[in-house]
Structure 1
Amino acid sequence: MGKGANKSGGLGRIRRGIPHLPHLVALHKKRLSAPMVRGTLTSMPVRFFAHRGLSAQAPENTMASFRAARAAGYEWIETDISITADGELVLFHDDTLDRTTNGSGPLATRTLAELTQLDAGSWFAPEFTGEPIPRLRDLLDFAQEAGMGLNLELKVNPRGLSGNANTVAAAKVLAEIAPYDSSHLLISSFDHDLLRYVHRLAPHLQLGALVEGPWWQSNWRELLESLGGAALHPSNTGLDGAAIAHVREEGFEVNVWTVNDQRRMQELIFWGASGIFSDTALVPYYPHQPIALER
C-alpha cells in the first residue's frame, strides 16, 4: 500500500482528560442518522500492523524489518506479495527492483534464484548490506514461531504481463498459507475483483479492501458485503471521524494506513478505528496515554 499523509484535519488541540467533542458530535449529527461511535483508548481493541515490517527502522519487507516489528511490540505484520518469473512468492512492494535493491527492472521478469543474489538492505543503511528479498514461506514460519498475525497484500500485476497472473498468484498464496492458522491471517488488495476470487476459494479467510480517494462516495457497503464482511482499509489522508463512525456502525472494521504520528493515531482510535498501519514504533503509546479531543 502507499504511504498516506498524516493530517489531523482541523482537529483543535489534544489533551488528556474527559472527552469533549462538541464539533465532532455536530458533524456526526449532520452526516449520520445513527449516534456516533464512542470509545477510549483503553477500552477499544485495536490491531497494530507493522507496515512492511518496522520500515522506519529497517529496510522494508525484509526479515530484519519483521524482527524489528516483533521487538517493538507489534502483534501483526503487513507485507506485500509478488510473484517471480518462475512462480515463486516473495515479499516486495514495487513493480521494479530499482528503489530498494541493487537490481533494476521488473521483479516479475526475474527468477527466485536471480532475486536471491540481490542486496535489499544497503539502500536503507550500511548495516543491512546483504539483506535478501524474503520468500513468503520465510515470513509464515517466522510469524508462526513468534505468534504474530500477518496481513498479506496481494499486489496488482504490472501492465504488459499475463492478464491472469493475479489470480494465479492468489491461488498460489492460498495454497502456501493453507497449513497455517487462518485466524492469524488477513488478505488485502486494491484489486477488489481479486479479493472476490479469494473469497470464493477460501470463504473462511479474513479480507481487507484497500481504498483511497473519496471512497465514501462509492458503494463501499456492497463491496464489503460481497467479500463476506471484509474490513475496510482506507488511506489516512483526509479521513475523518464521521466516515469511520459510518463504517463502524454498519458492523465493519476500519484499519487505517499509514499512520506515523502519535497524536493522529490516538485521534483515529478515539473515532473508532479498529486497526492502524504504521512504519514506526507507535505501539508503546497505546493504551498508556489516553487522550481526549477538544476544540
Structure 2
Amino acid sequence: MKTVFAHRGIPTLAPENTLSAFSLCKPHGIQWIECDVDILADGTVVVSHDDTLDRCTDRSGSLYDIHSGDLALIDAGSWFADAFIGERIPTLDQLIALVNQDELNINVEIKSCRAGWAMTEQLIDNVITALAKLDPGRQLIVSSFNHLALAEFKRRRPQTAVACLFEAGQLGEDWLSAMQKCQADCIHPADRGLTQQMIADFKAAGYQVNVYTVNDLARANQLFNWGVDGVFTDIPHRFPAKYRT
C-alpha cells in the first residue's frame, strides 16, 4: 500500500496548516494529513510550521510571545486569497476534532521549539494530552527533526509510532543510531539527494520510508518503484486515485 500524505493539508488550494486546508482532504479522497505543531506562551499547542507569524498571517512576531486569546485577532488566510479572510491559526485540539469528524489519519510533526528545553517539554506534554482525544480508529505518526525531543516523546508515549525526519544532506553514517535511540518505526528523509541505494538501506534495516516533499508525479512514481512507502506532497489531489483511496 502506497500512501500520499497531504503536506500541511492541501496548501495549493487553501492556506497551509489551516482547518480549510485540512477539510479539503476528505472530499478529495485523501486519508493521511501532515501538520506541524508548536507552542504559545501560555502552553497552547497550535498548528504552524513557522515559529513566527510573519509568513502566513497578517501579523509579525513570535508564537512564543502570544497567548490563545490572541488567535482570534490574527488572520491566517487573507494572504492566500480573499476567500480565506478571517481564517485562524488552529489549535491542535481543533485539528484533532476535524480528524475525528472526517475519519482522517494524521502525522504530527513536533517542531524544533526554539524557546528552549523547558518549553519543548511542555510542548511534548501538551501534544500527548491532545492526542488522547484522537479516536481509537485513527492512525497516527509523530515525527520531528529534533531527535532529542522525539526520543523524549516516545519515552512518554511508547504506544505511538514515531519517525525521524532528516534534512537533505544530513543523512550521515549515524542515521541508524538516531533511529534506534528514538525507537523509530519510520524514517522521513528529504527527497533531494535521495538514491535507490539509500532507500534499500532503510528498508533493509526494517523501517517504513516516507519522503518529503514530492510535488512531481513522475518522481513520486520512481520513489514508489524504489520501495518507498509514502510521500508528502503539496498536491495530493492531483495524484491518481489509487494513492488516495
Q: Give the paired residue count.
A: 242
Code of the residue aligned with 2:99 in structure 1: it is A
Higher relative contact order (Cα pairs below 8 Å, separated by 6+ residues): 1
- Seen in structure 2, the aligned counterparts of structure 1 residues 60 and 108 have a Cα distance that, compared at 3 Å, is same
Match of 1:47 in 2: 3
Offset of residue 217 of structure 1: 2.4
Q: 1:114 aligns with which of 39, 51, 70?
A: 70
Offset of residue 52 of structure 1: 0.5
Matched, 1:201 2:201: no
- Seen in structure 2, the aligned counterparts of structure 1 residues 203 and 283 have a Cα distance that, compared at 3 Å, is farther
Within 5 Å, give how 1:276-287 maps onto structure 2: 276-282=231-237, 284-285=239-240, 287=242
Give the SS at the match of 1:164: helix
Code of the residue aligned with 2:55 in structure 1: it is R
Offset of residue 286 of structure 1: 5.2
Code of the residue aligned with 1:101 in structure 2: it is T
Q: For residues 184 and 239 of structure 2, what CA distance do their matches in structure 1 show?
A: 30
Match of 2:187 in 1: 232
Give the SS at the match of 1:82: strand
Match of 2:89 in 1: 133
Code of the residue aligned with 2:83 in structure 1: it is E
- Seen in structure 2, the aligned counterparts of structure 1 residues 182 and 106 have a Cα distance that, compared at 3 Å, is farther
| Contact 2:3/2:231 (<8 A) preserved | yes
Per-residue CA deviations over 1:145-182 (Å, capped at 9, x if unaligned) read: 21111111111122xx3431111101110011123238
Per-residue CA deviations over 1:92-113 (Å, capped at 9, x if unaligned) read: 1111101110011111100111
Give the SS at the match of 1:246: helix
Give the SS at the match of 2:109: strand
Match of 1:252 in 2: 207
Match of 1:15 in 2: none
Per-residue CA deviations over 1:161-210 (Å, capped at 9, x if unaligned) read: 34311111011100111232386111111000101101111111010101
Q: Which runs of 5+ in 1 are unaligned?
A: 1-44, 289-295
Q: For residues 208 and 33 of structure 2, what CA distance do their matches in structure 1 show?
A: 17
Give the SS at the match of 2:188: strand
| Contact 1:74/1:283 (<8 A) preserved | no
| Contact 1:53/1:77 (<8 A) preserved | yes
Match of 2:178 in 1: 223
Offset of residue 212 of structure 1: 1.3
Offset of residue 222 of structure 1: 2.2
Match of 1:173 in 2: 127
Q: For residues 146 and 282 of structure 1, what CA distance do their matches in structure 2 show?
A: 16
| Contact 2:46/2:92 (<8 A) preserved | yes
Match of 1:67 in 2: 23
- Seen in structure 2, the aligned counterparts of structure 1 residues 156 and 263 have a Cα distance that, compared at 3 Å, is same
Match of 2:44 in 1: 88
Q: For residues 198 and 72 of structure 1, what CA distance do their matches in structure 2 show?
A: 32
Q: 1:163 aligns with which of 117, 122, 125?
A: 117
Match of 1:210 in 2: 165
| Contact 2:164/2:184 (<8 A) preserved | no
Q: For residues 279 and 94 of structure 1, what CA distance do their matches in structure 2 show?
A: 17
Offset of residue 265 of structure 1: 0.7
Q: Percent identity?
A: 35
Give the SS at the match of 1:214: coil
Q: 1:56 aligns with which of 12, 16, 25?
A: 12
Give the SS at the match of 2:73: coil
Larger radius of gyration: 1
Match of 2:98 in 1: 142
Q: 2:230 aligns with which of 275, 281, 286?
A: 275
Matched, 1:79 2:52: no
Q: For residues 199 and 182 of structure 1, what CA distance do their matches in structure 2 show?
A: 20
Within 5 Å, give how 1:92-103 maps onto structure 2: 92-103=48-59
Which stretch shows the higher mean deviation, 56-65 or 176-185? 176-185
